[in-house]
């Protein structure tokens, strides 16, 4: 929910911050991408920590909370994917054809890197996104139901 910071011309974030302050808490927040803190997933989220000012009396707007520092990725998504896959997890012919329609263009782009496995996602007839940088696109809970946003390993 990184978009919360800009939602409704920043009014939403101002309401949240003011709500914390109204109950005597000092809110400190930051937008962090999982891939920047050693998780092989492109998942940007808003994190907020609130301090009770009646307990932490010296905290104010200039206080800097130690959120995780940016670090290099230790494990790529390649190291997390199983090599043997059940037939229950194979994609459809329609999906395969949609990937084939768009893959050549991607392989000719500067983003193509054969060092990592190739993932396809947001697979549609009109478009298909790819990445091969060792990082998975954002994985959400609703992906368990299938659909065209599930990341697919392209062989």
Return the percentage of the chain with pLDDT > 90, whole number: 55
Q: Give this prediction's pTM.
A: 0.74
Please tell me the distance from the alpha carbon of residue 83 to that of residue 155, in angstroms, as a whole number: 11
How much of the chain is helix, strand and coil, in % rounded to 5? Answer: 30, 20, 45
pLDDT higher at 119 or 141:
119
pLDDT category, 83, cuts 50, 70, 90?
confident
| Average pLDDT over the chain, rounded to an integer | 88
pLDDT category, 144, cuts 50, 70, 90?
low
pLDDT category, 9, cuts 50, 70, 90?
very high
By DSSP bridging, strand 118-121 and strand 152-154 are antiparallel
Please tell me the distance from the alpha carbon of residue 122 to that of residue 106, in angstroms, as a whole number: 14
């Amino acid at each position: 929910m990184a978009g919360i910071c800009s939602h409704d011309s920043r009014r939403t974030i101002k309401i949240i911050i003011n709500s914390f302050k109204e109950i005597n808490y000092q809110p400190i927040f930051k937008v962090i991408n999982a891939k920047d803190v050693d998780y092989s997933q492109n998942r940007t989220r808003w994190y907020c920590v609130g301090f009770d000012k009646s307990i932490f009396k010296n905290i104010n707007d200039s206080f800097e909370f130690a959120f995780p520092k940016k670090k290099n990725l230790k494990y790529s998504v390649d190291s997390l994917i199983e090599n043997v896959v059940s037939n229950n997890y194979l994609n459809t012919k329609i999906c395969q054809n949609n990937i084939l329609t768009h893959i050549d263009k991607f392989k000719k782009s500067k983003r193509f890197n054969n060092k990592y496995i190739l993932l396809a996602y947001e697979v549609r007839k009109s478009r298909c996104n790819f990445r091969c940088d060792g990082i998975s696109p954002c994985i959400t809970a609703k992906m368990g139901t299938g659909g065209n946003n599930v990341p697919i390993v392209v062989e």
